[in-house]
Structures are given as structure tokens and as C-alpha cells.
Structure 1
Amino acid sequence: MGVALHITPRLLFATVYYNYYGDMKHVVETKRKGFVLCNRVGYVSHICEIFCLLGLTCVSSTEDFGIHRNCFTGFGICSFLNMFLSCVLSHWPRISKSQMECCSAKKKLYIFLANVTSFALVMYLYWRHNAYCEPYVYSFFAMFEYAVIMTNMAFHSIAIDDFGKKYIMLLEDGR
């Protein structure tokens, strides 16, 4: 239920990030086409990541293993793509970059690498559990699955650095 309630703000922040990176005034002129493509693909992957997370949360592996597995795979792929492109966009050549933007870009990169490492271990341990059914392997799988979730949360919490002093206003046309 908590994840379902959290979907709307996550969708809002996906759009905010899309618009944040869409502000082209600081991007080097010769690099704009690639930047726009990365931003669009990143936005779509961010939205897909959110909905895969919702499906992964709503359908347990005991309820329907196929749906749960597909949602986990989709979440992993879309999360990887979103984080990777966010790192690319954060490190993109710009005319000017603030100290906070540089710090945010470094944090994103380190957390992304931790997430990829955790996800690789999850896949390896899941395979090893199914292939050999060794003791404690599934426990390590579960531990690194939590590491994937925690690094995903940490990555998205960097929005505090990116937007901490900005306001998001949802306005209704008062006519």
C-alpha cells in the first residue's frame, strides 16, 4: 500500500527531472541532440521503472511467479537504464555547473555502481540457489535484493540535492 501511495509523487518527480534536464540553456550547443535523446529515453525508462515497481509490489512471487519475475526483470532493466542515463545527463558537458550539481553527479555515479553490483549479485545468487540449492544462498540473495532496493531509494533521494531549494507548484487555472 505504501508503494502504491508513493507512485504519484514518483511520477511527478520523473516529470520534474525530465523538465529539469530539458532546460537546454546550459548544454553545449553541439551536444544537444544526444542530450535530448538521452533525456527522453531516461524519462520513459523512469516511468516504466515506477510501474514495474508497482507490479512487483502488488503481485507476490507466491501469488503469480511469472508476473512477479517479469516485473522484477522490467524494474531491474528500467532502473538500470534510468540511473545510467541520469548519470550521463548529470555528467554531460555544460557551459556552467554548480558545486551542488557536481556533488549530486558524483553521488549518483557511486550509488549507481553499488546498485549494479548488487543486482549482478542478486542474479548470480538466484541462479546458484536454483541450480545447486545450497544452504544460505537464498538468504544472501534476499540480502542483496534489499541492497538493490536500498540503493534505488538512495539514488532517487538525491532529488533532495537537485531540488532541495526549489518549489514545485501545482496550479489550477482559476478562471
Structure 2
Amino acid sequence: MDATVDGRVPPDVPAPGRTNSGTVGNSQTLQQHNQNCPHMPQQDLHQHHQPHQQQQQQQQWNLMDNAHASLPGAIQRKSRTNDRSKERSGHTEPPTGPLELDSGHYGDDGGGPKGGKGPSDKLVVHLIIGFRDICVFTLVLPLGTLFVCFVSAYVFQPEEIHETHCRVYNIIPSISAITGVSPQRYLWRVSIALHIGPRFIIAFVYRNWYRAMVAGLNDPGRMSKACRMINIVYWLNLVEISALCGVTYISNKENYPLHEKVFIIFMTTSLSYMLATLKLLKLLQPDGPQTPYEESSLRYKQAFFALSIASTVGLILFFLKHRFLCQDLAFSWFALCEYIVASANMGFHCTTMLDFPTEHFLIAKNAKQYKKQQTSLGWKVD
């Protein structure tokens, strides 16, 4: 009884109710094989039949394991065995919480990941959104709101939106008119408030993207010009976004002189931003676009810029006719040009979908080791 371990009987000790017939049979088999193969040594014969003996021993162990499985406490051992089997087979359960990824960046001391105290510093992703989806949101939100304001104001408030200082006949109200009456003004202001946040993020991303493209240039003179142009494009974009806020929250009915000046700033910075962007892309891509996405983006940018220039010329011409000559329908033509300018501006900015077709906006934990100097969102101008 001292030879038993954990309730198991070793193979060389016969179990109750059993005989050593298997051992005797093995000995007879060895003797018979020795007579048939006299040239094989006894040690080789033992090694030759050793796998068969191991198979029999394994069968005996399996029978005893099945008997012990019905005893109390066997369930816990079975659970641990199943867990080890899953680990060996590589089977893992799908994650149910936030996505966790090994960062793979270790500190200089070799004791763990950089910035972490444990054996692994995991990257936990809380939110991931496609950059294309963000661009679609920034386009659909103001465009849909503008359509709702136009229809509702045209149907329910026609006299208010067509009123001008000349008191002439008009059929198309301006953007300032349909977004300056109540309650459309509140809807428009809310949509612009939600629209501005992604616009600032896109401006930061574009600056970093342009800086990464500068690193691929070989001409120092071209690199210097590109760096200066990047800063110009960046600040023009920020001023344009800020002017859009001013035009939105300072209506023409509340303060027309200030609204007019802010609108002029918006138009000037918008066209300057488009032109500077095209000049910058020419510096960064001396051999032309390298991918179909870049080629399509450049072509759309050029088309929207040309449309904006033509519409701006018509906008100025019809505004002067309305302001100084008070011609019929002059203000309607001015409003039509204004809608075209706004649509071209939205289209130009929505080419971001072609510039960043596969990028994503990520909110994650333990992502500090991935932060690089050129991806900083600081306000320093190099």
C-alpha cells in the first residue's frame, strides 16, 4: 500500500482482482522473438518491445483516471486539465471588453514595457472611428441643416427672408437670411458648433501629414519653401474656421456691419487656403500624384477652387448691382452664387476622404510610447 501515489496503482503492482497475465504474455513474446531472431541482443529486444509496454501502461493509467474522475474534487482537477488543454491547442475565447494589444515597446532597463511597471503594458483601445466617417459627418451636418433651414424659412417665413434695404423683387434668399431668422438660427448654430470640432482636428492632421511628406524631399530649398507653406496653409485654415464661427454667431440682423466684415474675412481666407494648398501639393509632389487617391484628390481640389473663383466673381458683381443699383433679382443671383461658393468650399474640404482613405481616429490607453514629435498638436510654429 505504500507504493500507491494519489490513489493510483503503478503498472508493476497488480490491481485488486487482476493478474499479471499481461506481464507473462510479454515474457513469452520476448522468448519466442529471441528464438526467431537469435542475432538480436537481449537489450535490443527489450527496446524493441518497449513501446508496446508503454502503450499498455498508458491504457491502465487511463482506466484508473476514469475511476478517480467520479470521486469528490475531481471536477476541479478536470477543469484545470481542460484549461491546460485549451492553452496547448491555442484555443482562446473572444474578448468581451475593450480591445487590448501588447505595445511591444520595452524600456532601457529591460524590466518591462516603457512607462509600465508590470510584465506587459497593453494598449487598450476605447474608441476607433474611421477618418472617412468623420469627414462625411462634417459634410452632411451643415449641408443637411442648411437644406432644412432653406425649406422651412421659404415656406413659413417668406417675407422675413426676402426683405432687403432696396425692397425689390427676389426669389432666392441668402444664407445669412435663412439662418438669421428664428428658430432656424438656433438649429444652424448647433450644427456649426458640432461641425467646428472635427474641422480643427482635420487641420491638425493635415499639418502633420504635410510635415511627413516634407521628410521625403531631397532638395533643401524645396524643403524650406514647403515648411513655410505648411505654416501658411495651417493658419489660413484656422482663421477660416474661426471666421465661419463669427459669421454664424453674429447674424446680419443683429449686427450687419460686423457680420459683413467677418464674411469678407471668411471668403478671403477660404480662397487663399485653397490656392495655398494647391501650391503646397505642387511642392510636396514634384513628380505628380503617386496614387489614384492622390490624383483624384488633386483633380477635385482644382475643380472646386476654379468653381469658387468663378462664383466669387459673380457674387461680387451681383452684390454691387444690388447695393448701388437696386436691380430686380440681383440679390437672388447674389444668393445663388453664395450657395455655389458654400458648396464648393464644403467639397474642397471633403477631399480629406481621398487624402486619408484608411486612417482612423483612435482613443486608447497606454499609447504614450507611440507619440512622436512630428505628431504633436502643439501651437509651436517651426
The TM-score range, normalised by the shorter chain, is over 0.9
Residue type matched to 2:202 in 1?
F
Give the structure 1 partner of residue 216 of structure 2. 26
- For residues 102-117 of structure 1, what are the structure 2 equivalents within 5 Å? 102-117=295-310
Give the counterpart of 2:226 among 18, 35, 45: 35
Residue type matched to 1:79 in 2?
S
Q: Could you say if the C-alpha distance between residues 28 and 81 of structure 1 is closer, same or farther in structure 2, counting changes exceeding 3 Å? A: farther
- What is the deviation of 1:158? 0.4
Give the structure 2 partner of residue 16 of structure 1. 205
Paired residues of 1:91 and 1:105 also in contact (CA < 8 A): no
TM-score, structure 2 normalization = 0.44
The DSSP-based 3-state class of the residue aligned with 2:361 is coil
Q: Could you say if the C-alpha distance between residues 70 and 170 of structure 1 is closer, same or farther in structure 2, counting changes exceeding 3 Å? A: farther
Paired residues of 1:28 and 1:94 also in contact (CA < 8 A): no
Paired residues of 1:48 and 1:78 also in contact (CA < 8 A): yes
Aligned partners of 1:15, 1:174: CA distance in 2, in Å?
Answer: 19
Give the counterpart of 1:148 among 341, 354, 372: 341
Residue type matched to 1:162 in 2?
D
Greater helix fraction, Structure 1 or Structure 2: 1
- CA deviations 1:53-86 (Å, max 9, x no partner) are 0110111111101221111111111111111111
Give the structure 1 partner of residue 316 of structure 2. 123
Aligned partners of 1:83, 1:98: CA distance in 2, in Å?
Answer: 21
Paired residues of 1:27 and 1:94 also in contact (CA < 8 A): no
TM-score, structure 1 normalization = 0.92
The DSSP-based 3-state class of the residue aligned with 1:169 is strand
Q: Could you say if the C-alpha distance between residues 26 and 9 of structure 1 is closer, same or farther in structure 2, counting changes exceeding 3 Å? A: same
Q: Which protein is bigger by CA-based radius of gyration?
A: 2
Aligned partners of 2:279, 2:331: CA distance in 1, in Å?
Answer: 34
Paired residues of 1:126 and 1:141 also in contact (CA < 8 A): yes
Aligned partners of 1:173, 1:142: CA distance in 2, in Å?
Answer: 51
State the Cα RMSD in Å. Answer: 1.8
Gaps spanning 5+ residues in structure 1: where?
none
Residue type matched to 1:42 in 2?
V
Matched, 1:2 2:195: no
Paired residues of 1:26 and 1:94 also in contact (CA < 8 A): no
- What is the deviation of 1:90? 2.1
Aligned partners of 2:367, 2:235: CA distance in 1, in Å?
Answer: 31
Count of residue pairs brought into register by the alignment: 175
Aligned partners of 1:63, 1:29: CA distance in 2, in Å?
Answer: 52
Q: Could you say if the C-alpha distance between residues 50 and 12 of structure 1 is closer, same or farther in structure 2, counting changes exceeding 3 Å? A: same
Mean alpha-carbon deviation: is it higher for 54-63 or for 89-98?
Answer: 89-98
Give the structure 1 partner of residue 278 of structure 2. 87
Greater strand fraction, Structure 1 or Structure 2: 2
Matched, 1:58 2:244: no
Aligned partners of 2:323, 2:339: CA distance in 1, in Å?
Answer: 19
The DSSP-based 3-state class of the residue aligned with 1:102 is helix
Give the counterpart of 2:238 among 34, 37, 47: 47
Give the counterpart of 2:353 among 134, 155, 160: 160
Moved over 6 A (4+): none
Q: Could you say if the C-alpha distance between residues 62 and 83 of structure 1 is closer, same or farther in structure 2, counting changes exceeding 3 Å? A: same
The DSSP-based 3-state class of the residue aligned with 2:362 is coil
Identical counterparts, % of pairs: 25
Matched, 1:99 2:292: yes
